[in-house]
Structure 1
Amino acid sequence: MSTEKKLTVALTYNLKKNESNLNEDDEAEFDDLETVNDIKLSLEAIGCEVILLEATSEIVNTIQNRNIDIVFNFAEGLKGRGRESQIPALLNMLSIPFTGSDETTLGVALDKSLAKRIVAYDNIKTPKFQVFFNGKEKLNKRLKYPLIVKPNAEGSSKGIIDTSVAKNNEELYFLINRIITNYNTPALVEEYIDGREFTVGIFGNDDDLEVLPIMEINFDNTKGTGFYSYNVKKNSKNLTSYICPANLSAKEQKLISDFAKKIFNSLECKDVARIDLRVSNIDGKPYFIEINPLPGLVDGFSDLTLIWKSMGREYKDLIKRILNESLKRYGMSTID
């Protein structure tokens, strides 16, 4: 009988409360207990001892008293545009290893306009954009219709409705004020890239990166929406087809893969991320839309899990891969 100590992994998360909210999608980024248990069971299946830690304010007082080797972090945080940074910042302060990107990358990535400014500095193409803070700003003359409007610091397609692409000033300012009023956050307005949409999963660190099969979002059955609204995402099994691997030439695959890896490193991501981009019908070039360095892990629903499933791999192996990338980065022993 082996006496080798099991790796103790704390699992940090935020649960849906199913409270009465102003917007249908207010808790879209949070997870339910089923997903938490799926990750817990996957970690236990590969030989880990798992401690569940819901990322409420109480975690500040409790996490220091647990004998934790590493944290598997998929907590979304509670408040503010830097909410995804809360747990990583705490863990770094306490010198506790954790999976995924640090607080700086997570904070920047959630703020779409900040992420776009950084990648643009590295000559990565992204749609022209403008942030509206009060809805009274004039539209910058360099922006041309159609324009898509979304919350500047939200994920999971929150705030994006089926009519979020504006064709004129009246539609634009209606959408801007809807975001500012309903979500209490600035609105990001960016030029709408007419073309194919792809999402790219990446594992690794620095120059040692693996791009997973590229997935295309097929909007043929979305009644003309043509983009990833909250409604499309929520009803994805009925409305959209996920094409993975996408039907791309070898040249197109390399173009998109290299583009995604450049974004991953430009934003200093660690271990895992998922990148959304569109390839323009006009110039054939990819444009960065947004990045999720804390990708959803809902089995059979979240994009990264669907990409992984298309490879014929089991969910527990996805969880193990994320954990192993982190263990390797910290110089710890990986799990076979």
Structure 2
Amino acid sequence: MQHSFSFFLFYFLHIFLFLFLSLHIAKKYVITIIQNTYGPFVNSEFSIFCFVHLKNASMKKHRYTSHHHSKLHIAVIYSVPTSRMKHSSYAATDEDTASSARQIHRVLHKKGYISTLHPITTRTINEIQRIHADCIFNVIEWTGVDLKYSQRAFRILEKLEKSGTPFTGASKQNYFMNADKRVMKKIFNVEHIPTARWQSFETGNELIRKDFVFPVIVKPCLEHCSIGLTRSSVVYTANELRDVIHRQILSFKQPVFVEEFIDGREFHVTVLEKNGVPIVLPIAEIQFDVRGTDAFLTYDSRWDEKHPEYAQSRVVVAKLSAKLDTALCDVSTRAFSALKFRDYTRVDIRVRNNSEIFVLEANTNPGLGADEDCALSTSFLAAGMTFADVVEYIVQSCMDRFLKQKKEKSTQKKNIPRSRRGAYLVQYVI
């Protein structure tokens, strides 16, 4: 009997020693693989999460790294000008998108992130789904009649996010409410965000609303970056308005948008998100050398350095009374929340008589760059931030949101019986 017990103990110790050595070797092997794949920042407290599928008993590795570490892989994607834009007089806007993407890529690299740059054309949209990264920094912004390409890109991005790769900035829904001025204005009206009276026109033959107070300004419905805006976009009579509407519909092949022109100061308010709460940076103001209905940003005043209008405006830190500053911050954060924007935005506002506030629009994924002549740069510099700080802030906001959503989904899953889940979660702490 004693001999049998000794044999059993000897046999058990050998099995235990074998398992211990196997796990120790496996631990080193797994760490080596992870470090080779994700970088040497992986340490002994790194956790590997595995979904163990009961159906086939196979283990699927799920990568989980701390988003606060600089070794995250960030893929920067941006839209390349379509053939339509290349042959138009508005190519500068898409060239600016590429420049912005390159600047973002460079500062991420300098911050220590693994950064890759991915130009996306209308023919390579599907390549987005093959990007393997911890986070995608999205600088896609096809608009106008090219909006269909953005729709495809966002569908792919949302599929990626569901599978585990978050992307910065706007969701598909709030991107398209921004892309179509009519949708955004309807939300402003419903949510009681102060905005000018407006009307959209599909054919140009619709009745003009009787309560319009002229002058009004005419814009293409689906464009951005002041595309289609010239000094002649401001009109003073209903007959003149009808002519301008017809010309724009014919020229841009899309509906047009008309709103009352607000004669007053113009402010650009940068809003960043922190833990789901919108935070306003110091407010920027567009100063004009001209007055009245000439004092607004046309396409030429923003993009053509050789045009006389370009030198007639500049961006400065706004000098505001405490009351007006508070009011602008309040309406900007309300607009951000009403539109369910994410990570960052720029809200464009006009103020008449230093008291009446009118929100023109809020911009999803507004232009990012280190150039000091843009409103966002003016604001973050006034806040003591660098361009690299802002880019990293946006990435952190994106990852915070993603991990929060993931945690909420995990909590919901715990309430589901294991037999219904089809898989259970195993955590190995190495």
- What TM-score results when the alignment is normalised by the length of structure 1? 0.89
1:250 corresponds to: 322
Which amino acid in 1 is paired with 2:312? Answer: L
Gaps of 5+ in 1: none
Which one of the candidate residues 110, 123, 138 is aligned to 1:73?
Answer: 138
**Equivalences for residues 210-225 of structure 1 within 5 A:** 210-221=279-290, 225=294
Instruction: Describe the shift of the 1:206–1:279 C-alpha distance in structure 2 as closer, same or farther (beyond 3 A).
Output: farther
Match of 1:54 in 2: 119
Q: Secondary structure of 2:187's match?
A: helix
Q: Deviation digits for residues 29-88 of structure 1, max 9, x if unmatched?
A: 453644332111111111111222222245444333332111000111365446544433
1:295 maps to 2:366: yes
CA 1:82–1:125 in structure 2 vs 1: closer, same or farther (change >3 Å)? farther
Per-residue deviation, 1:174: 2.7
What is the aligned partner in structure 2 of residue 41 from structure 1? 106
The one-letter amino acid of 1:91's match is L
Residues 267/205 of structure 1: CA separation in 2 closer, same or farther (3 Å cut): farther
Change (3 A) 1:145 1:223: closer
In the alignment, does 2:385 pair up with 1:313? yes
- Superposition map of 1:200-279 within 5 A: 200-204=269-273, 208-221=277-290, 225-234=294-303, 235=305, 238-244=311-317, 246-279=318-351
* 4+ residue segments displaced more than 6 Å: 17-20
- The answer to whether structure 1 residue 322 and structure 2 residue 394 are counterparts is yes
The AA in structure 2 aligned to 1:266 is A
Moved more, 144-153 or 16-25: 16-25
CA distance in 1, matches of 2:73, 2:168: 13
The Cα of 1:224 is off from its aligned counterpart by 5.9
Distance 2:293 2:158 in 1: 45
1:108-123 to 2 correspondence within 5 Å?
A: 108-123=177-192
Q: Could you tell me which residue of structure 2 aligns to residue 12 of structure 1?
A: 77
Distance in 2 between residues matched to 1:130 and 1:123, nearest whole Å: 17
* 1:142 aligned residue: 211
Q: Which entry has the higher C-alpha Rg, 1 or 2?
A: 2
In structure 2, distance between residues paired with 1:163 and 1:199: 23
Q: 2:199 maps to which residue?
A: 130
CA distance in 1, matches of 2:343, 2:195: 24
TM (norm. structure 2) is 0.71
Change (3 A) 1:221 1:143: closer
Partner of 2:154: 88
Change (3 A) 1:119 1:83: farther
Query: Aligned equivalents of 1:227 and 1:131: distance in 2?
Result: 21
Greater Cα shift, 201-210 or 220-229? 220-229
Offset, 1:237: 6.2
State the match for 1:286 in structure 2. Answer: 357
Instruction: Give aligned pairs, total.
Output: 330
* 8 A contact 1:81–1:111 mirrored in 2: no
Decide whether the 8 Å contact of 1:85 with 1:104 is kept in 2: no
Q: Does 1:165 align with 2:234?
A: yes
Q: Aligned in 2, Cα 1:22/1:185: closer, same or farther, shift over 3 Å?
A: farther
Which residue is 1:3 aligned to?
Answer: 40
